[in-house]
Amino acid sequence: MGGIGKYILQRVLLTIPMLFILLSAVFLMLRLMPGDPVLAMLGGRNVSPQLIEERRKEWGLDKPLHVQYLDYLAQVVRFDFGRSSRTGKPVVVELFTRLPATLELAIWGIFFAALFGLTTGIWAAVRADKTADHAIRIFHIGSFAIPIFWLGLMFQMIFAVQLDWFPVAKRVSGIYAYTFQPITRFYLLDAIIQRDWNLQLDVLKHLILPAVTLGIALTGFLGRMTRAAMLEVLDADYVTTARSKGLKERVVVLKHALRNALIPIVTVMGLQFAILMGGAVLTETVFSWPGVAGFLVRSLDARDWNAIQGTIVFIGVFIATINLIVDILYSVIDPRVRY
C-alpha cells in the first residue's frame, strides 16, 4: 500500500475508536441522568404504571444495561435511531429531512466567514503593526467574545424590525410556504432549478442574517489564521523575488503569497464544521430555522429520548466524517503531512 493509502487507512482506524467513545458517552449520559426517562417522555406524572411498564418494554429499557448497550450499538450500525415520541416518525427520517437546511446554513456561514476572515486577515498582514492591523485584530478578538444568540437578536432587531431589509425568521416567506415544492430541500438550489427569480431572492433574504450570524463566529479565528499564514509567506524568498521583478503589490499578495498560505487556512475551514454545528444550535433557535440543531432543541424540550440520542450521535458522526475527509484532502494537497 502506498503512502497515501496507508495514511487514509490510519485516519480511518483512528476515527473508529473516537466514534466508539462518542456512542458510549451518549448512551451513558442519557441513562444516568436523574429522573425516569419513560415518565418524562410520556409527559407527566399522571400516567398509569401499566402504561409506563408497556413503554419501558417497548423501548427496551427493562433490559439489563449491558444488553441495552449492545442493542443500541446494533441499532446505530443499522442507522436505526427508533421513532420520535414527539412526531411519531423515524428519527433518521426526521434528521435527513432537516439536514439540507442545516447544511445550506453551514455552507453560507462558511462562505461569509471566509469572505470576512480572508479579507480582514490579508489586510491586517499587509498593514502589519499599523492602525488598520490593530483595529482588525480587535475585531477578530471581539468576534470570539460576542455570543451568537445575542448577535442574532441584534441583527433581527436592526435589520429585520427597524430597517425591514430582511425577514425575521424561517427559510421562505408565508406566500411560498404552501406553494413551494422543494426538490433537493436545499431551497436556494431548488429555486434556481425551478427558475423562480422571486423565490431565489426570497430564499437569499432569509439566508443572509442567520448565515452572517453564524459566519461571524468563525471570522475571528479564520482572520487570525490568515494573518499569521500571510505574514509567514510575505517574508519568503519567492515573494521577494516577485517584488524585485516589478510586479504590482496586489499581484504579489494575491497570486504568490495567498496561494501558498491557503493550505492551512482551507484545512481550518473544513475543521470548523464542528464549531458551525455547535453554533447552529443557537442560530437555528434564534431564527426558527428548521434544521437538525433546531430539531435537537425541540426534542430536548419534549424529553424525546430517541430523538435526543439519535441527533447527538448523528451530529457526532457527521462531524467525524467531515474531519476525516478534510484530513484526507489535506494529505493530497500537502504530501508532507503523511510523514
Report d(CA 94, CA 183) in Å as an integer: 16
Residue 182: its pLDDT value, please?
Answer: 85
Single-letter amino acid, residue 265: I
pTM tops 0.85, yes or no: no
11 burial level (CB within 10 Å; 0-12, 13-18, 19+): middle
pLDDT digit string, tens, across residues 95-109: 999 989 998 998 899
- Check: CB of residue 120 under 8 Å from CB of residue 129: no
Ramachandran class of 176: left when φ > 0, alpha when ψ lies in -120 to 50, beta otherwise: alpha
Residue with the three cell numbers 493550505? 263
Grid coordinates representing 112 are: 461569509
- Check: CB of residue 311 under 8 Å from CB of residue 298: no
- Check: CB of residue 333 under 8 Å from CB of residue 263: yes
Query: Which residues are 90's β-sheet partners?
Result: 83
Assign domain 93-302 to its CATH superfamily: MetI-like (1.10.3720.10)
- Domain definitions of the chain by residue range: 3-77, 93-302
Identify the segments of the chain with pLDDT beneath 70. Answer: 1-3, 34-37, 40-46, 270-271, 273-275, 277-279, 330-339
Helix (H, G, I), strand (E, B) or coil at 291: coil
DSSP 151-194: HHHHHIIIIIIIS--S-SSSSS-GGGTTT---SSS-HHHHHHHT
pLDDT digit string, tens, across residues 38-94: 776 666 566 777 777 777 777 777 788 888 888 888 888 888 888 887 888 899 999
